[in-house]
């Protein structure tokens, strides 16, 4: 297990918070987006600013982190390939358990352990940010909710040209096929 780098932009030091349940701290930060923050077709550009507002709250088992993050996501419409650029705001909440509770229980599940843990009072926001961004994104982003996509015949973007049509007079060979009885086509 690699230890956290306290200088990494998404690693927070919770030492100042103390461990008295109920103590709270507000944190506001802007961090450069890590690589691959999002999904293949829509993501936050690496290095672009992610604004994060957090409340850290000491509870019995660890530190409860509640926050919102805002960033600009870019990608393209899965129907017409038009570039998409929009603001994304995500909210998240996660309990980071004190790492000393790990001792005493033999736990070799390692990476399979879903519990977020503090490491030497440091917490890593990146996995939390990554999960909440991915969850907030549509699987198939569209430039507009009813994007009509591309013309199957010429590839024109139909949203730009709603009355788009082709003359029925296409290649005469296709016209001949169209007259065939569908039963005979196999």
- Contacting positions for Zn ion (CB under 5 A): 77, 79-80, 82, 143, 147, 151, 153-154, 156
CA dihedral 174, 176, 181, 186 (to 10 degrees): -60
Please state the closest distance from residue 84 (CB atom) to Zn ion, in A: 8
Smallest distance, Zn ion to C-beta of residue 22, A = 49
Residue placing its CB nearer to Zn ion in the complex, 17 or 151 = 151
User: Minimum CB separation from Zn ion for residue 75, in Å?
Assistant: 11
Q: Left, alpha or beta for 79 (phi > 0: left; psi -120 to 50: alpha)?
A: alpha
Nearer to Zn ion, 29 or 41 (CB): 41
Query: Given the complex with Zn ion, which of 39 and 95 has the nearer CB atom?
Result: 39
Among candidates 25, 24, 27, 22, which has minimal Cα distance to 10? Answer: 27
Pick 110 or 152: Cβ nearer Zn ion: 152
- 168 burial (CB, 10 Å; 0-12 / 13-18 / 19+) is exposed
Give me the least distance between CB of 162 and Zn ion, in Å please.
12
Cβ contacts of 160 within 8 Å, gap of 6 or more: none
């Amino acid at each position: 297990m690699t230890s956290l780098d306290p200088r990494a932009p998404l690693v927070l030091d919770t030492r100042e918070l103390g461990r008295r349940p109920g103590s709270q701290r507000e944190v506001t930060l802007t961090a450069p987006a890590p690589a691959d923050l999002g999904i293949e077709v829509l993501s936050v550009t690496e290095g672009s600013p992610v604004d994060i507002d957090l409340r850290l709250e000491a509870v019995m088992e660890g530190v409860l982190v509640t926050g919102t993050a805002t960033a600009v996501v870019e990608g393209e419409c899965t129907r017409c390939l038009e570039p998409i650029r929009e603001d994304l705001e995500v909210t998240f909440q996660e309990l980071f358990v004190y790492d000393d509770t790990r001792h005493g229980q033999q736990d070799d599940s390692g990476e399979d352990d879903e519990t977020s843990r503090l490491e030497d009072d440091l917490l890593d926001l990146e996995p939390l940010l990554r999960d909440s961004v991915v969850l907030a994104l549509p699987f198939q982003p569209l430039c507009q909710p009813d994007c009509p996509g591309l013309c199957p015949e010429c590839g024109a973007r139909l949203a730009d040209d709603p009355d788009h049509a082709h003359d029925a007079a296409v290649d005469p060979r296709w016209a001949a096929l169209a007259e065939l009885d569908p039963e005979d086509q196999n």
